[in-house]
């Protein structure tokens, strides 16, 4: 989705509270903007049926994953149910250097870790229309107890307080509308003066 000659790609980090619809929005974005590269995570868990290397995940051993942590080769990582998950820095770097935009769908705490290591990314917070609507969406799943719903809403409030660390906020009232807003943000980011000036300066050098 790059728009300027010689322009590098962007890392777009999309996060928000559980139940806000990050996965649904990302799935729609991939259909509407197939040129967007979806960030592939590394994991130590075994592949599931139908999953392929480099498409769903980069499958690796725990020893290799720990080595990646020690060498600071991950933008963020976490351990969940005995397995590691993380975002390889090299995959992101190679993608944007090739002039392609890459989108990373991630939880809020992970996004804050990415921001520390890759502050030049574009950080978008996906908002629910209201806390009541977020509660309705979680309840609609039919997989949560009342206590779990209360806990998720409490965490969501804490996560929304981190909105000040993001560049943009997009309300997910309608999936198509949210996707349109995100695509507009990406286009605007590519048109920022500070992204274009290095190339303009190189042109000016040629005419001196």
Q: Report pTM.
A: 0.85
> What average pLDDT does the segment 114-120 reach?
94
Checking if the pLDDT of 200 tops 90, the result is no
Query: What is the reported pLDDT for 2?
Result: 47
Of all residues in the chain, what percent carry a pLDDT higher than 90? 62
Of all residues in the chain, what percent carry a pLDDT higher than 70? 95
88 vs 145, more confident: 88
**Confidence at 74, pLDDT banded by 50, 70, 90:** very high
- For 8, 14, 15, 17, 102, the CA distances from 156, given in Å and listed in that order, are 34, 15, 12, 5, 26
Specify the long-range contacts of residues 110-116, CB closer than 8 Å, at least 24 apart: 110/15, 110/76, 110/78, 111/13, 111/15, 111/76, 111/166, 112/162, 112/165, 113/75, 113/76, 114/11, 114/13, 114/75, 114/76, 114/87, 115/13, 115/165
pLDDT digits (tens, 9 = 90+) for 47-67: 888 888 988 889 999 999 999
pLDDT digits (tens, 9 = 90+) for 155-166: 889 999 999 999
Which residues does 16 contact at the CB level (< 8 Å), separation at least 6? 22, 108, 125, 126, 127, 128, 159, 172
| Straight-line distance from the first to the last Cα atom of the chain, in angstroms, rounded to the nearest whole number | 32
Query: What is the reported pLDDT for 158?
Result: 92
Domains and CATH numbers, the chain: 1-36+101-208 (3.40.50.300), 40-100 (3.30.63.10)
> What average pLDDT does the segment 118-123 reach?
96
User: Which residues fall in the annotated binding site?
Assistant: 16-23
Checking if the pLDDT of 1 tops 60, the result is no
pLDDT digits (tens, 9 = 90+) for 13-48: 999 998 899 989 999 998 999 999 999 999 999 988
User: Which residues fall in the annotated binding site for ATP?
Assistant: 16-23
């Amino acid at each position: 989705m790059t728009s300027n000659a010689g322009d590098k790609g962007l890392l777009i980090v999309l996060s928000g509270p559980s139940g806000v619809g990050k996965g649904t929005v990302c799935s729609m974005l991939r259909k509407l903007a197939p040129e967007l590269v979806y960030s592939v995570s590394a994991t130590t868990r075994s592949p599931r049926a139908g999953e392929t290397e480099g498409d769903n995940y980069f499958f690796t051993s725990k020893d290799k994953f720990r080595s990646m942590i020690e060498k600071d080769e991950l933008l963020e990582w976490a351990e969940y149910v005995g397995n590691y998950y993380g975002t390889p820095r090299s995959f992101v770097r190679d993608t944007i250097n090739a002039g392609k935009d890459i989108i990373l769908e991630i939880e809020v705490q992970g996004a804050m870790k990415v921001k520390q290591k890759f502050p030049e990314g574009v950080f978008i917070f996906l908002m629910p229309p209201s806390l009541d609507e977020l509660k309705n969406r979680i309840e609609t799943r039919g997989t949560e107890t009342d206590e779990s719903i209360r806990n998720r809403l409490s965490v969501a409030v804490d996560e929304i307080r981190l909105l000040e660390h993001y560049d943009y906020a997009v309300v997910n009232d309608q999936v198509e509308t949210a996707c349109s807003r995100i695509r507009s943000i990406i286009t605007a980011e590519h048109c920022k003066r500070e992204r274009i000036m290095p190339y303009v300066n190189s042109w000016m050098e040629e005419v001196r």
